[in-house]
Structure 1
Amino acid sequence: MSLDVTATKPHERLAEALAPEMEAVNLMIRDRMSSEHAPRIPEVTAHLIEAGGKRLRPMLTLAAAKLCGYEGPYHIHLATTVEFIHTATLLHDDVVDESDQRRGRPTANLLWDNQSSVLVGDYLFSRSFQIMVETGSIRVLGILADASATIAEGEVLQLTAARDLTTTEDTYLKVIRGKTAALFSAATQVGAVISGADESVEKALYDYGDALGIAFQMVDDLLDYGGTEAIGKNIGDDFRERKLSLPLIKAVAKSDADEMAFWTRTIAKGKQVEGDLEAALDIMRKHGALDDTRDEALQWAAKAKACLAEVPAHDIRDMLSDIADYVVARIS
């Protein structure tokens, strides 16, 4: 198969290599997000799913299955399941975070209401379990059920850690391993499991997804303080929402008494005024918090690539390695 020469970014090359499978996933998404009795469900779902996301997580499932030589139909079901779980978490996250922008567009809770976002998210979670059951694999069901629980656990841990200036980097890693990396690792692992891959290959693909997801979230947290509006989110949202993401945790750990008073006012007590975001950035730069976060994200991306050494040589394996580089490309 000849790849599109215009597809220059790694995720675009992977999408091109998986084009027939992704089309099948998109067809299943449109079919399974329908509702005979509640037209708001496909309206809300379509607003988010069709907003131009890269579909990275379902592509990881398809890539893992193809890499492992799978020739059956159920990788389509699993990729659809992964996308539905992801979409459900986004709908719920935007309500929890009171967000008004997602992927550069108004959030569903802003266009409709919080109730619709929560209930449609619940519908998609339920739909995802209906679809994964169709594979007939108890192992796959267990992996994705565990991932769904871990995602929710990570979100709750983040909620309890928010605004707590004693939050450690270990706690942060538990949060992002739960809320983000769990679905990446499940996406790659189920692709291997449905293919009947060797245990060593399955573990390598799980570890790849875990490391990739951690790097992905660290980059996202870093871009909140150093990106542009073009990334589809408001710069400084994490600061305004008083989230203890890695750049802030690192800065707090090195802050002097005056700086701690600033963090106590702005994060612990939430009393923020004009210019506080710029002051926060100054403290982060002073203590190298942004550079240190960048270095850690690069280390996790390198770890993801190293995990692929256990996977058989394949064009798809090379593309997955490039995806790890791409995830951190915006900060490297």
Structure 2
Amino acid sequence: MSATIHRLDSGPQPSLDPMVALVAGDLNLVNAVILGRMQSDIPLIPELAGHLIAGGGKRMRPMLTLASARLIGYTGNRHHRLAAAVEFIHTATLLHDDVVDGSDLRRGRRTANIIWGNPASILVGDFLFSRAFELMVDDGSQKVLKILSNTSAIIAEGEVNQLTAARRIDLAEDRYLDIIGAKTAALFAAACRIAAVVAERPESEENALDAYGRNLGIAFQLVDDAIDYVSDAGTMGKDTGDDFREGKMTLPVILAYARGSSDERAFWKDAIEGRRSSDTDLAQAVGLIRDARAIDDTLARARHYGRRAIDSIAGFPAGNAKEAMVEAVEFAISRAY
């Protein structure tokens, strides 16, 4: 176990392949549920939903449900529909987010709102949310319904919190962590936790899986926010500097602003408030972030949350499931290198 943890700092490049191999059979069943439930007599709905669902995503969240079930030895099949519900919630939020952000690219492809327009994207997102809740009701567990419905509300709160924090140069790191904890980490946590619920495992195991998913989700988002300033569209699947142009105060900017000279802080204020958004301005922003070592420190925080995720499942038995879940954390962080 300790040798695996050390890969957060050095060692061979980690991969999501062990988790993919672990859950491959289950994921085929989940994909069948997704395909069946996104159908509609209105052709635009499966066309638009299929564009995003088939768009090259790793199915990270439903895979976490399936891997968590493997970790605790669950042998039923309820988790297949619930993993599909998790993916529908995620996909619906992506459709809505792309409208809010005015995004052009998602995973390297044109976003649904660019192809079909904002109204269609919002309405199909609503359809997918409804399908998710149908799947929860079909499962019949009040506890699962409470966890996933509460998570959906938390995600929405996180997105509204981020919206109201946009172009606010005074955004504190604590509020930023609250935002990503809600809009990203909450669904990671719920995806893992519901496996313990359907398996009727003790609350201590529910909490351990929740903590694993939550800390992984925070690490995942921290890395995403760092990558936005160091990658190209081919790596990230979106345009470099999208966060910069949208005035998002992510951790690299928060750190660079806090450490900047008065002139640098004036630049950041103009940039975040929308007065500096050219390619030249972006290049200057990247340089300031680099000089402030803000990417290094953002990734150091990601590694901290990654270690917390790994520590959360330390009490579960050793085996392929545990190793795959540890390596998934390693993979989430290694994307930045």
* TM-score in same-fold range (> 0.5): yes
Which residue is 1:26 aligned to?
31
State how far apart, in whole Å, the 2-side matches of 1:315 and 1:272 are.
47
Q: Counterpart of 2:58 in 1: which secondary structure?
A: coil
**Corresponding letter in the other structure for 1:31:** G
**Corresponding letter in the other structure for 1:173:** L
State how far apart, in whole Å, the 2-side matches of 1:293 and 1:190 are.
30
Structure 1 residue 9: Cα displacement:
5.8
Name the structure, 1 or 2, with higher relative contact order (CA <8 Å, separation 6+): 2
Check conservation: 2:38, 2:46, Cα contact below 8 A. Answer: yes
Structure 1 residue 274: Cα displacement:
4.0
State how far apart, in whole Å, the 1-side matches of 2:17 and 2:82 are.
21
Structure 1 residue 73: Cα displacement:
1.9
State how far apart, in whole Å, the 2-side matches of 1:9 and 1:130 are.
36
Residues 1:308 and 2:313 aligned together: yes
Check conservation: 2:22, 2:324, Cα contact below 8 A. Answer: no
State how far apart, in whole Å, the 1-side matches of 2:153 and 2:83 are.
18
The runs of 5 or more residues in structure 2 that have no matched partner are 1-12
State how far apart, in whole Å, the 2-side matches of 1:184 and 1:274 are.
34
Which residue is 1:4 aligned to?
none
* CA deviation profile, 1:230-256 (whole Å, cap 9, x unmatched): 221111111011100110011111222
Report the number of matched residues: 324
Which residue is 1:287 aligned to?
292
Which residue is 1:243 aligned to?
248
Which residue is 1:162 aligned to?
166
* TM-score normalised according to structure 2 size: 0.93
Q: Compare 285-294 and 106-115 and name the one that shifted more.
A: 285-294
1:78-117 counterparts in 2 under 5 A? 78-117=82-121
Identical-residue share of aligned pairs (%): 49
2:199 to 186, 195, 201: 195
Structure 1 residue 228: Cα displacement:
2.7
2:140 to 136, 139, 155: 136
State how far apart, in whole Å, the 1-side matches of 2:323 and 2:55 are.
28
Over aligned residue pairs, what C-alpha RMSD do you find? 1.3
State how far apart, in whole Å, the 2-side matches of 1:68 and 1:282 are.
46
Q: Counterpart of 1:175 in 2: which secondary structure?
A: helix
Residues 1:59 and 2:66 aligned together: no
Structure 1 residue 258: Cα displacement:
0.8
1:173-188 counterparts in 2 under 5 A? 173-188=177-192
Check conservation: 1:200, 1:310, Cα contact below 8 A. Answer: no
Check conservation: 2:19, 2:321, Cα contact below 8 A. Answer: yes
**Corresponding letter in the other structure for 2:201:** A
Q: Counterpart of 1:165 in 2: which secondary structure?
A: coil
Q: Compare 260-269 and 109-118 and name the one that shifted more.
A: 260-269
State how far apart, in whole Å, the 1-side matches of 2:227 and 2:291 are.
18
Check conservation: 1:10, 1:319, Cα contact below 8 A. Answer: no
The runs of 5 or more residues in structure 1 that have no matched partner are 1-7
State how far apart, in whole Å, the 1-side matches of 2:86 and 2:274 are.
37
Check conservation: 1:180, 1:214, Cα contact below 8 A. Answer: yes
State how far apart, in whole Å, the 2-side matches of 1:240 and 1:107 are.
17
Stretches (4+) displaced over 3 A? none
State how far apart, in whole Å, the 2-side matches of 1:246 and 1:167 are.
10
State how far apart, in whole Å, the 2-side matches of 1:28 and 1:111 are.
26
Q: Compare 277-286 and 93-102 and name the one that shifted more.
A: 277-286
Which residue is 2:209 aligned to?
205
Which residue is 1:72 aligned to?
76
State how far apart, in whole Å, the 2-side matches of 1:270 and 1:39 are.
42
**Corresponding letter in the other structure for 1:116:** A
